[in-house]
């Protein structure tokens, strides 16, 4: 999922301060799963914002909505009946959702209420960690299902480096050395010999180095 974290309230308050009525929009997808911008968080932020302004003697009117997906125009269209009744939109979706609203409703200011973080997985309740950087050319088949691009601090394709100590990374003892994980996994699979296969220099063009990316499926595109 795409993970996110709520922005500091101070920053959000400054975004919405000039307005009297806002639309606070959550998203039912990734940000709901990582408890950053679903229906529940929309309710909490709305309550917190209202109190922050009430304290200053100001009434901020907030309309709460949570869309099925904020990154799809079909769902963003659902805001069309409400958008003219508000001065601005505050989105709790990832950056994709914020931009979808900005694109559809060009004359309405839209602000992000969360910081989009990374593509990750849940380690346990309340803990998420990075698993994928969307490099555009997946290497997991070569590395025992553990990604050196997302999980090695240096993105080494042939590791580990000298900073790997007792299975941990030198930048933080809390972080597992990805190459230790890869080695352990190859051993468990009985594929130790694959460790000595050299992975050639990666072509980063399918990643961000080739500029903003796009997928066009001719069979589906309308």
Partner 1 sequence: MDTFEPIIVAFCCHYCAYTAADMAGSMRLHYPPNVKIVRVPCSGKVDAIHIMKAFEKGADGVYVAGCLEGDCHFKNGNVKASRRVKYIKELLDEIGIGGERVEMVTMSAGMGPQFAKTAIEMTEKIRKLGPNPVKDMAAKRRRAVGQG
Nearer to partner 1, 10 or 218 (CB): 10
Residues in 10-29 that interact with partner 1 by CB under 8 A? 10
Residues in 32-71 that interact with partner 1 by CB under 8 A? 40, 43-44, 47-48, 50-52, 54-55, 57, 59
Residues in 97-156 that interact with partner 1 by CB under 8 A? none
Beta carbons within 10 angstroms of residue 135's beta carbon: 18
Nearer to partner 1, 8 or 145 (CB): 8
Q: Rounded CA gap, 122 and 7, in Å?
A: 20
Q: Which long-range contacts (CB under 8 A, 24 or more apart) does 7-16 make?
A: 7/112, 7/113, 7/114, 7/115, 9/48, 9/49, 9/52, 12/45, 12/49, 12/90, 12/111, 12/113, 13/49, 13/52, 13/53, 15/88, 15/90, 15/111, 16/49, 16/60, 16/88, 16/90, 16/111
Min separation Cβ 203 and partner 1, Å: 45
Nearer to partner 1, 40 or 187 (CB): 40
Residues in 73-92 that interact with partner 1 by CB under 8 A? none
Nearer to partner 1, 47 or 191 (CB): 47
Size of the site for partner 1 (CB under 8 A): 15
Nearer to partner 1, 40 or 208 (CB): 40
Min separation Cβ 34 and partner 1, Å: 15
Q: Rounded CA gap, 109 and 88, in Å?
A: 5
How does DSSP assign 165-181, residue by residue?
A: BTTEETTEEEEEPHHHH
Min separation Cβ 46 and partner 1, Å: 9
Q: Rounded CA gap, 176 and 153, in Å?
A: 10
Min separation Cβ 1 and partner 1, Å: 21
List interacting residues with partner 1 (CB under 8 A): 8-10, 40, 43-44, 47-48, 50-52, 54-55, 57, 59
């Amino acid at each position: 999922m795409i993970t996110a974290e709520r922005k500091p309230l101070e920053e959000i308050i400054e975004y919405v301060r000039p307005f009297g009525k806002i639309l606070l929009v959550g998203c039912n997808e990734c940000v709901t799963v990582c408890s950053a911008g679903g229906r529940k968080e929309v309710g909490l932020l709305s309550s917190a914002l209202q109190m922050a302004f009430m304290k200053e003697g100001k009434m901020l009117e907030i309309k709460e909505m949570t869309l099925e997906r904020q990154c799809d125009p079909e769902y963003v269209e659902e805001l069309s009946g409400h958008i003219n009744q508000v001065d601005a939109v505050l989105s709790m979706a990832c950056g994709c959702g914020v931009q979808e609203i900005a694109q559809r409703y060009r004359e309405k200011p839209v602000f992000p209420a969360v910081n989009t973080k990374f593509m990750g997985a849940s380690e346990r309740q309340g803990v998420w960690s990075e698993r994928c950087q969307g490099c555009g050319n997946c290497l997991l088949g070569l590395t025992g299902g553990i990604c050196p691009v997302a999980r090695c601090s240096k993105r080494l394709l042939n590791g580990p480096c000298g900073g790997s100590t007792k299975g941990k990374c030198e930048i933080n003892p809390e972080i597992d050395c990805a190459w230790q994980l890869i080695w352990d996994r190859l051993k468990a699979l009985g594929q130790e010999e694959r460790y000595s296969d050299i992975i050639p220099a990666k072509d980063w063009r399918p990643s961000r180095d080739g500029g903003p990316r796009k997928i066009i499926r001719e069979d589906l595109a309308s």
